[in-house]
Structure 1
Amino acid sequence: MFCSGCGQALAAGQPVCPQCGRPVAAPPPPAVPNLAFEVANYANRVRALSTVWFIYGGLSLALGIVGLAFANSFLNGGGFWMHGPWAHGNFPFGPGFGSAIIHFAWVMVVLRSGLALVAGWGLMERAPWGRVVAIVAAFLSILKIPLGTALAIWTLVTLLGYRNTSLYDQL
C-alpha cells in the first residue's frame, strides 16, 4: 500500500503517512452482492409468491363453495322467499336450466382454484413448469378485482423478463 499524496510505501495498519502526514485512504467498500445473493433473494420472493397463490386458491375455493350454495338455493330451491316468474324452477329455457348453470359454475370454481393451487405448488417446488402455470394463472385471474388483479400483477412482475427468467432457472 502506498500514500495517495507522496507515494511513500506504507506498512499495513498505518493510519498516516510518516513522510507527508496525510491520512491513509479509507478501505474500499464491501463487495457488491454476487449471483448467489441475488438467487437467494429471488428464491425468497418466489416462496412468498407461492404462499400467496396457495392462500388465493384456498380462498377462491371456500368463497366459491359458499357462493354456489346460495346460488343453488336461489335457482333450484326457491324456498318461501322466491316469488316471481322463475319461482320453483320455471326458467325460460326449461326446468334444468338452473342446475346446468350451477354445474358449470362448480366446474369453473374447481378449475380456477385448482389452477391457483397447482401454481403455488409448482412455484414452491421451483419446478420449471411452475413458472409457466403461474403466468397462465395470473393472466386468467387478472380480471378478478382486487385480489386476483394484485396477485396477477405481482406474479407477472416477479416471473417475466430476462433477468427473472435466468434467476428462476438458477433456482
Structure 2
Amino acid sequence: MAACPRCGAPLMSVPPPTYPGFQFELAAYASKMRALSTVWFIYGALALVFGVIGMAFADAWLANRGFWMHGPFAHGGFPFWFGPQIIRFGWMYVIARAGLAIMAGYGLMERAPWGRIVAIIAAVVNLIKFPFGTAIAIWTLVMLLGYRNTTLYDRLTQA
C-alpha cells in the first residue's frame, strides 16, 4: 500500500483506468476469430473431401488390384497384410485431421474455452501440410498465442 509523501498516511489504491479502445479492439478480434473459424471449417471440409477421394483411389488401385502382392513390393520383404494396414492408417489419418480442423472451427466460432486449445493443436498438426495448411496454421498461431491474444480470447468467452 502506498503512503502520502507529505504526511505518511496510507493512500487508497485506485483501480487502473480502463483501456480507451478496448471494446473496439475486442470487436475487431471477434471478427478475426469468426473469419479464422470459417477458414478452419472450409479447410476441414476440403481436407475430408480430398482425403476421401485420395484414399478411395489408393484403396481401389493399390489394395484391390493386388499391388501389394504382385507389384514392386512383392519381393521386397513386406508381409501380405502390410498394404491394407497402410490404407487403414491413411483412412484414420484423413478422418482425424479433418475432424480436428472442423472441431477447431466449431470451437472458435462458438468461442468455447476449449476451442483455443483445439485450434492450436490443429495448427501444429497442419504445419507440415504446405502451402494451405501451413498458412492457416501460422495464422492460427499468430492469432491465438501470446498474452494479449490470450486475454482477448478469454474476454470473448466471458462475453
Band the TM-score falls in, shorter-chain normalisation: 0.7 to 0.9
Partner of 1:27: none
- The CA distance in 2 between the partners of 1:108 and 1:45, in whole Å, is 29
The TM-score, its normalising length taken from structure 2, stands at 0.79
- The CA distance in 1 between the partners of 2:84 and 2:150, in whole Å, is 44
- The CA distance in 2 between the partners of 1:167 and 1:39, in whole Å, is 6
Instruction: Tell me by how many angstroms 1:104 deviates.
Output: 0.6
Partner of 2:47: 60
Instruction: Tell me by how many angstroms 1:115 deviates.
Output: 0.5
Task: Identify the match of residue 104 of structure 1 among 70, 85, 89.
Answer: 89
Which aligned runs of 4 or more in structure 1 are off by greater than 3 angstroms?
89-92
Give % identity. 57
Secondary structure at the residue paired with 1:141?
helix
Partner of 1:9: none
Instruction: Tell me by how many angstroms 1:72 deviates.
Output: 0.7
1:42-96 C-alpha deviation (Å, 9 max, x unpaired): 00000000000000100010010000011112211228xx7x9427x94742322
Task: Identify the match of residue 26 of structure 2 among 29, 34, 39.
Answer: 39
Instruction: State whether structure 2 residue 118 is matched by structure 1 residue 118.
Output: no
Partner of 2:122: 137
Task: Identify the match of residue 147 of structure 1 among 132, 135, 138.
Answer: 132
Amino acid at match of 1:51: T
Secondary structure at the residue paired with 2:60?
helix
* 1:85-100 → structure 2 map (5 Å cutoff): 85-86=70-71, 90=74, 92-100=77-85
- The CA distance in 1 between the partners of 2:51 and 2:155, in whole Å, is 37
Amino acid at match of 2:32: R
Amino acid at match of 2:40: W
Partner of 1:71: 58
1:8-66 C-alpha deviation (Å, 9 max, x unpaired): xxxxxxxxxxxxxxxxxxxxxxxx96211111000000000000000010001001000
Amino acid at match of 1:64: G
- The CA distance in 1 between the partners of 2:20 and 2:39, in whole Å, is 27
- The CA distance in 1 between the partners of 2:20 and 2:50, in whole Å, is 43
Q: What stretches of structure 1 of length at least 5 have no aligned partner? A: 1-31
